[in-house]
Structure 1
Amino acid sequence: MRITQGCFSFLPDLTDEQISAQVEYCLQNGWAVGIEYTDDPHPRNTYWDMWGHPMFDLRDPKGVMMELDECRKAHGAAYIRLNAFDNSNGFETVRMSFITDRPAQEPTFTMTRTDVGGRSQHYSWAATR
């Protein structure tokens, strides 16, 4: 099963060249770029670990790509995502977020739907590896 979160989630994984083009777009808009990683990609897990600090002062995508490569070396078996933050309104707003890397073996889930009383339905799921 392929985890789908953020921009480009239903497209094939982006190449480094495509990631760099997206970073360049973010920097041209004045957005700060941050890199995060996790081994728990559940949609309700909003607390991914941050790699370094958000890069507020970069103007060249090569700097972000260097940090992404370092994160890949340290956490190659984790999910890694790139976030772009816009602070033009006086507070941080995520403008873009997408997964750049994923583990070779992604977790699989089984969902079971049970019909109960009237039109109600209960769902349960279990993770399998």
Structure 2
Amino acid sequence: MRITQGTFSFLPDLTNEQITKQIQYCLDKRCAIGIETTDDPHPRNTYWEMFGMPMFDLHDAAGILAEVEEARRTFPNHYIRVMAFDSTHTVESVVISFIVNRPKDEPGFRLVRQEVDGRKIRYSTESYAVNRAPEGSRY
């Protein structure tokens, strides 16, 4: 299963050259860049763990790509995404995010069915990543 979250998620994985161009575009728009990682890419898991501090004062795409490479070395089996934060008044939000690293084996999701009051059925999704890691190793 291929996780499709963020910009470019339906395209093939970006090369380092393409990542550098996207980072430079974000920097040209005066966005701050951050790098985040997770082993549980559940669609409602919007708060991934920060890798280092947000780079508000770094204006060199090559320097940010070096941080991406460091994140890849540190977390080779995690999802890693780059996000650009626009601090412009009235925007103040993440305006772009894209995945720059995926685990070799993407765990995917399963549909969980639960019967509740009466004959109602509730459905939810659960990441297989939650079940495969030993206790205490995820958080």
Q: Do these two structures clear the TM 0.5 threshold for a shared fold by scoring above it?
A: yes
Is residue 99 of structure 1 aligned with residue 99 of structure 2? yes
1:11 maps to what in 2? 11
2:33 maps to what in 1? 33
Describe how 1:1-129 pairs up with structure 2 within 5 A: 1-89=1-89, 92-111=92-111, 122-125=122-125, 127-128=127-128
Q: What do the CA deviations read for 1:15-57 (whole angstroms, capped 9, x no partner)?
A: 1100000000000000000000010100111221101111111
Q: Is the 8 A contact 2:36 2:48 kept in 1?
A: yes
Give the unaligned 5+ runs of structure 1.
114-119
SS in 2 for 1:52: coil
Distance 1:47 1:66 in 2: 23
SS in 2 for 1:98: strand
Distance 2:93 2:32 in 1: 10
Deviation of residue 88 (structure 1)? 1.1
Summarize the Cα distance change of 1:103–1:32 in structure 2 as closer, same or farther, 3 Å threshold.
Answer: same
Stretch moving more, 46-55 or 84-93: 84-93
Aligned-residue identity in percent = 55
Summarize the Cα distance change of 1:127–1:68 in structure 2 as closer, same or farther, 3 Å threshold.
Answer: closer
Distance 2:40 2:109 in 1: 13
Q: What do the CA deviations read for 1:64-117 (whole angstroms, capped 9, x no partner)?
A: 00100111111011000000000011663111001110100001334378xxxx
2:137 maps to what in 1? none
Summarize the Cα distance change of 1:69–1:127 in structure 2 as closer, same or farther, 3 Å threshold.
Answer: closer
TM-score using structure 2 length: 0.80
Give the unaligned 5+ runs of structure 2.
114-119, 133-139
Corresponding pairs, count: 124
- Root-mean-square deviation (Å): 2.1
SS in 2 for 1:58: coil
The structure that is strand-richer by fraction is 1
Distance 2:93 2:106 in 1: 29
Distance 1:14 1:65 in 2: 12
Question: Which segments of structure 1 move beyond 2 Å, counting only runs of 4 or more?
Answer: 108-113, 120-129
SS in 2 for 1:97: strand
